[in-house]
Amino acid sequence: MDEIIAQGADQPLEAPEYHVYPPKLKDPYRTSRFEVGEDMYALLGISREDKPARLKWLENNFRFFNAPAAAFCFVETIMGPPQWADLGMYLQSTMLLFQEEGLDTCAQEFWARYPNTVRKFCDLDENWMLFCGLAIGYKDDDHPVNQLHSKRRNSGEWLTFL
């Protein structure tokens, strides 16, 4: 684990086992993804050109944003898309239960860049695919990043009622 942290986030050592986003993401998803990133960096006062500052922010993921506790979420490789949906539901319920207990969370697909290292850290074999990390703690309401409210598109743009 220390090795990947020392190397920094600009050079992932390992081939990711799934695409966090499809390689050719189409609109409106592509634009929304771009906008939420830009809105976040604007709140942090980091410009588009300032790649080192963006990288430095990204590296907060390695420290789980200074959260006192963390978890990793895996799925067995024999499972397919229906079970990945189950996993998402489980993860969301877990996050809501933490919230009920007064704890905040941040799911971190960032960790999908390092599946081998995290598997080794968790003493798991290759039958397990890492989905994400989960930072668990207390959010700092005064931090600029926590002023981010991602825009919601009108449901008519992405939802079809018949």
Ligand X SMILES: Cc1cc2nc3c(=O)[nH]c(=O)nc-3n(C[C@H](O)[C@H](O)[C@H](O)COP(=O)(O)O)c2cc1C
- Cα–Cα distance for residue pair 53/46, rounded to 1 Å: 7
Tell me if 39 contacts ligand X by CB under 6 A. no
Asked whether 28 and 153 are in contact (CB, 8 A), the reply is yes
Question: In the range 47-66, which residues lie near ligand X by CB under 6 A?
Answer: 61
* Nearest to 140, CA basis, from 98, 86, 104: 104
Q: Residue count at the site for ligand X (CB under 6 A)?
A: 8
- The least CB distance from residue 108 to ligand X, in Å, is 4
- The least CB distance from residue 111 to ligand X, in Å, is 7
Asked whether 112 and 130 are in contact (CB, 8 A), the reply is yes
Angle among Cα 62, 68, 73 to the nearest 5 degrees reads 60
Nearer to ligand X, 110 or 114 (CB): 110
Instruction: Name which position in 9, 54, 67, 110 contacts ligand X (CB under 6 A).
Output: 110
Asked whether 104 and 98 are in contact (CB, 8 A), the reply is yes
Tell me if 107 contacts ligand X by CB under 6 A. yes
Tell me if 109 contacts ligand X by CB under 6 A. yes
Nearer to ligand X, 51 or 63 (CB): 63
Taking CB under 6 A as the binding criterion, the range among 6-14, 25-33, 100-108, 121-129 that sits at the site for ligand X is 100-108
> Which residues make up the interface to ligand X (CB under 6 A)?
61, 106-110, 132, 150
